A and B are shown apart, each in its own frame.
Chain A
Amino acid sequence: MSFVTRGFGGRSRDRDERLPPGQTLVHDFPVLSAGPTPEVDTAEWAFSIITEAGTHKWTWDEFNALPAEDIATDIHCVTHWSKLGTSWRGVSLDTLFENVESQFDYVMAHSYGGYTTNVPLDELLNGQSWVATEFDGEPLDPEHGGPARLLVPHLYFWKSAKWVRSLVMMPRDDPGFWEQNGYHIHGDPWQEERYW
């Protein structure tokens, strides 16, 4: 039955050749949420990498003593918006995994508040991802995932888990929260891997 509503223009959206298919450029930074925003005190915050052999853990102070990098990157959300040249600061997963050994090839990221998302380990290493604590030169806002979020810009942004607290090694590519509920197990924006 759908008919066009007189006088309703919707939102104007810019297309750009630098974008993956189906994406539109935005200049704000939309906030999408699946629940209440966790409020995590850095005094209680910890980040862990958990393998079959044991746990590597950093407190906020220990984490901030690690070598950090400035990152300039494009980000792509499955809901069709993209931002080009965003600036972040964080610790590379290569640094965090330096002394970590595991037989397993897959990672489940766990967040404060219960969110999960899965990523193959070889897509987190070799300069492909960070745990970020700053955006645009400022400490990361809680509504954008602060104190720290995973940043995996080559995949759709639901993989960049906000409020990240641990990475758990796993033998299979088990689906995280959105992957269980309709989203693609991998999430490559250039292949438009949005849904099952």
Chain B
Amino acid sequence: MIGRLTVPRSGWHPATVAANTPETGSAARLELDVEGWPGNAAGQHLDVRLTAPDGYTATRSYSIASSGPATGDVTRVVLAVDRVPDGEVSPFLVDVAMAGDRLEVHGPLGAFFVWQPQPAGAAEPAADAGVDATVRPVQLIAGGSGVVPFVAMAQAHADADDATPFRLLYSVRTPADVFFAAEFERLVAASAPFRLDLVYTREAPAGWPTPPARITREALAEAVLPASDVPLIYVCGSTGFVERVAAWLIELGHDARSIRTERFGGT
């Protein structure tokens, strides 16, 4: 639900790379042990700053795939970083960073693109919960690496055994490009209601009922919750993907204020 929302205060924290493992052919899962991390809500991001010997710095934002309160002086924070061709920071994080390396991170950042489960035992949503006093179903729409904040949201939803209906429409190029595939399988099977719809744009798995193709307005209309359900919608991906999808959602009757977007840049 979206209502009065409190998120921890952001700050700069030293972090140690605990693990860097391949997630897809072009992306890595980076696990960081962050000192003094106050915890983060699902959907928040952090900034990573790299410093060269001559003092030059480069800073980039990455969505956090994990969420939850701090777990003591050091908290494990999970990122999934896609290598941007000719990028300054992502090739370093994906190909060079290794366990033991020290980085600086700034976060948790952002209270807009966040989903939090209902407080346990809450009888009613907060007074300023928005359009409808009942709990609204949630529609997540991800393009490529835009799925990362939704990994955190879906996991938080499952961990709380939250009854809110959750759907994720996830567009990827090929089956090998699916992030957190094993985690998503477990989430679909868990008791908190979670449905995953995959769209393959370049290459589909053997036996897939539809040929690979970019999402169209019609495919979107079929997969997402209808406007009459008044869902809360989150869209995340490249700028082009997000703006195309958001425009179609408005055409399909969803209220602009029900749609929260996060653009990653790119094409």
Contact = CB atoms under 8 A, between A and B. Distances in A.
Nearest to A8: B50
13 contacts: A2-B57, A2-B104, A4-B53, A5-B52, A5-B102, A6-B101, A7-B96, A7-B97, A10-B50, A10-B52, A10-B58, A11-B56, A11-B88
A30 to B, nearest CB: 13
Interface residues of B, number: 19
Interface string B84-101: 000010001000110001
B103 interface: yes
A3 B58 CA distance: 13
A65 interface: no
A5 B56 CA distance: 11
Interface string A1-26: 11111111111000000000000000
Given A8-B92, A11-B56, A11-B88, A3 B101 contact: no
By size class, the interface of chain A is: 10 to 19
A5 B14 contact: no
Interface of B: 12, 14, 49-54, 56-58, 88, 92, 96-97, 101-104
A8 B51 contact: yes
Contacts of B96: 7-8
A167 B176 CA distance: 55
Nearest to B12: A1
B104 A3 contact: yes
Contacts of B49: 2
B103 A5 contact: yes
Nearest to A5: B50
B51 A7 contact: no
B104 A10 contact: no
Nearest to A7: B96
Given A1-B12, A1-B14, A8 B104 contact: no
Q: In the complex, which of the residues A3, A8, A10, A11 has the most CB atoms of chain B within 10 Å of its own CB atom?
A: A8
Contacts of A2: 49, 51, 57, 104
Contact of A4 (B12, B51, B58): B51
Contacts of A8: 50-52, 58, 92, 96
Contacts of A10: 50, 52, 54, 56-58, 88
B102 A3 contact: yes
B88 A5 contact: no
Interface in A146-180: none
Q: In the complex, which of the residues A4, A5, A6, A11 has the most CB atoms of chain B within 10 Å of its own CB atom?
A: A5
Contacts of B102: 3, 5-6
A7 B12 CA distance: 21
Nearest to B52: A10
Contacts of B54: 10
B230 to A, nearest CB: 32
Contacts of A9: 52-53
Contacts of B53: 4, 9
| 4 interchain residue pairs of minimum CB distance | A10-B52, A10-B56, A5-B50, A8-B50
A6 B50 CA distance: 9
A1 B36 CA distance: 13
A118 to B, nearest CB: 32
Contact of A7 (B14, B57, B58, B92): B92
Given A4-B51, A11-B88, 12 more contacts: A1-B14, A1-B104, A2-B49, A2-B51, A2-B57, A4-B53, A5-B50, A5-B51, A5-B102, A10-B52, A10-B54, A10-B57
A8 B57 CA distance: 9
A97 to B, nearest CB: 41
A5 B12 contact: no
Interface in A78-123: none
